[in-house]
Amino acid sequence: MLITMLKSPEDIKALAGLKTVIISCEGCKEVSFPAGEVKEFNKELLDNGTALKVIRTEYVCSPENLEVVTKKHLDKINAADTVIVFSCGVGVQSVSEKFAQKPVVAGCDTLPLPGYQGVTPLEVDCDQCGECYLNSTGGICPIALCSKSLVNGQCGGCKDGKCEVDKNMDCAWERIYKRLEKLELLDNMKYPAKVRNFSL
């Protein structure tokens, strides 16, 4: 089972840009999802003209489903500055991979509970850390995709883009840097060193 909790609306709005598309995952019935709060937040963004479209779907974590669902809304997605995703961390990473040319904003934190997450086996994962870092790392999770789960940058042991712990694994922080560079968001890396709140 998963529990997702809405991030601070002010934090989401600060990252949303002037025009955004919202993707809201309503799939996994085993996920405790803040549906009422998300609906209220989406209505506010639609009413003030920030949201161009709210796409409600099931199983954002399924690339095949994501392809079908977003295909008919590509005009709105292309016109948007950002894409806000309300789902667990797996769904946010799936959208980030699909729309790598756009900043993708996580609207929820995923809280830790034992159990399965997502419906499709993917190369992305969510460690349910309770404080999602995807908004500052270009939609690439440093906790799940770095063998050392570093949240404050590269360890320095990477060689030719590969992790020193697992030579078959791409360095998460090199991937993060390249994604942020592509999005012209390298300033995201200037934040003070983060310390994980393990009490979450």
pTM over cut 0.85: no
Q: How confident is the model at residue 54 (pLDDT cuts 50, 70, 90)?
A: very high
| Start-end of H helices in the chain | 9-16, 35-47, 63-71, 74-79, 89-98, 142-145, 172-182
* Distance in angstroms (rounded) separating the CA atoms of residues 166 and 164: 6
pLDDT of res. 128: 77
CATH code, domain carrying 77: 3.40.50
pLDDT of res. 115: 54
Residue 164 has pLDDT above 60, yes or no: yes
Coil vs helix vs strand at 197: coil
Tell me what the pLDDT averaged over the chain comes to.
Answer: 85
pLDDT of res. 83: 96
The answer to whether position 149 is within a domain reads no
The answer to whether position 142 is within a domain reads no
Question: 26: domain range?
Answer: 2-137
Number of domains in the chain: 1
